């Protein structure tokens, strides 16, 4: 956690050539931008635009009339759906600092939804990459920056993903940018793959012997809140936790899926003590470091904690109606209604099909 706050000398040495390249690219891009037309307030760059949340932010921003650019990696699978919606894709990579300033030319607002994929280094993407992005935004005089973070990240300095999210929040707060931090508790979309589909298929689902509660939010609602934060002058300099209407335990989610699917779940309980033991064992070996990081995160999500927050003031600040926010019951009911209807139409048996379409 400490190395996140103050990059080490070796870190600075390793990145010096990249920093120099970024500085030159930013100076060049800023000079060309300053000599051109003024930046449009409705111009936006979305980082992490192909992700579960990022794509919803792109869609919502386009619907609200923004000119949206989506940062995509040069070797990434084609983001055709983003272009079909009306976004402009620009090549860039958080691991390549020199690629960032050109993507920021003519941009007023940056919405950062990116996070490391399972196969990637959390430190490289969520710390080093974000520092590079924030510094590029400083150089390019970006006028608004919205950062998607994780609820309670500041309470868990020993969990790498949460530690770097908290470090990035602190770095952003001292950047001089007009920032807003949005801390998400959890997204409903994850419940489909983790619980809804396996229960319908009769496959095993994993639970823990804890009472951790999470106020899941639909990513479409999170995107609506994100765009409201972009519009709100009152949200500048604020850190807001985004929570769904009600916090659920894993057992409650499973019970709800069973009820809606008309099927019993095959649940395997994993004691929290087992997660701690697994973390200790994998942490011994450097080559399983990332595995240990993710087990540490799993332990937090199984530690009898509450990932939620009062939302009344947030709804008032953002000018949003809480009645429009999707509940977990509504979300899962709609999912199962659509899937069971399709099954009925094809006369299929649930145990013989995939349901993630």
% of the chain residues with pLDDT over 70: 78
Q: Is the pLDDT of residue 15 over 50?
A: no
What's the rounded mean pLDDT across residues 163-167?
Answer: 95
Task: In whole angstroms, give the CA distance from residue 293 to residue 121.
Answer: 10
Q: Which pLDDT score, from 0 to 100, does residue 240 have?
A: 98
Residue 220 has pLDDT above 70, yes or no: yes
pLDDT band at residue 6 using 50, 70 and 90 as cut-offs: very low
Helix or strand or coil: residue 74?
coil
Residue 272 has pLDDT above 80, yes or no: no
pTM for this prediction: 0.84
Per-residue pLDDT, 333: 96
At residue 120, the pLDDT reads 84
Of 31-40, 57-66, 140-149, 258-267, the range with the lowest mean pLDDT is: 31-40
Q: Is the pLDDT of residue 308 over 60?
A: yes
Which CA distances in Å does 344 have to 21, 258, 338, 339, 348?
Answer: 58, 18, 10, 9, 7
Tell me which H or E stretch contains 89.
strand 88-91
Mean pLDDT (the chain) is 84
Q: How far apart are CA 105 and CA 291, in angstroms?
A: 38
Q: Can you read off the two tokens belonging to residue 40?
A: 């449009």
Q: Please determine, for residue 313, whether its predicted confidence score (pLDDT) is greater than 80.
A: yes
Q: How many CA atoms lie within 13 A of 176 on its CB side?
A: 8
């Amino acid at each position: 956690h400490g190395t996140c706050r103050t990059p080490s000398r070796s870190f600075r040495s390793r990145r010096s050539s990249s920093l120099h390249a970024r500085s030159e690219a930013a100076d060049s891009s800023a000079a060309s931008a300053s000599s051109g037309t003024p930046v449009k307030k409705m111009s936006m760059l979305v980082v992490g635009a192909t992700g579960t949340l990022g794509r919803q932010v792109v869609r919502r921003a386009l619907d609200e009339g923004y000119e949206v650019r989506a940062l995509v990696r040069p070797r990434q699978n084609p983001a055709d759906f983003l272009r079909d919606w009306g976004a402009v894709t620009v090549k860039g990579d958080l691991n390549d600092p020199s690629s960032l300033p050109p993507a920021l030319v003519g941009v007023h607002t940056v919405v950062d939804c990116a996070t490391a994929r399972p196969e990637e280094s959390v430190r490289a993407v969520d710390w080093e990459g974000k520092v590079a992005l924030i510094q590029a935004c400083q150089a390019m005089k970006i006028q608004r920056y919205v950062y998607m973070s994780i609820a309670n990240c500041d309470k868990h300095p020993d969990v790498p993903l949460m530690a770097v999210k908290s470090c990035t929040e602190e770095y952003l707060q001292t950047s001089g940018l007009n920032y807003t931090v949005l801390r998400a508790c959890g997204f409903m979309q994850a419940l489909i793959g983790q619980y809804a589909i396996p229960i319908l298929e009769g496959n095993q689902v994993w639970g823990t012997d804890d009472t951790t509660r999470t106020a899941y939010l639909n990513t479409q609602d999170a995107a609506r809140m994100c765009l409201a934060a972009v519009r709100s002058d009152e949200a500048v300099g604020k850190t807001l936790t985004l929570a769904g209407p009600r916090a659920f335990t894993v057992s409650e989610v499973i019970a709800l899926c069973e009820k809606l699917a008309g099927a019993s779940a095959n649940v395997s309980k994993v004691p929290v003590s087992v997660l701690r033991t697994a973390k200790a064992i994998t942490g011994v070996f450097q080559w399983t470091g990332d595995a240990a990081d993710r087990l540490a995160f799993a332990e937090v999500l199984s530690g009898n904690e509450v990932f939620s927050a009062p939302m009344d003031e947030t709804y008032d600040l953002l000018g949003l109606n809480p009645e429009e926010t999707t509940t977990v019951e509504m979300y899962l009911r709609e999912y199962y209604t659509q899937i069971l209807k399709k099954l009925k139409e094809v006369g299929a048996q649930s145990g013989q099909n995939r349901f993630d379409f």
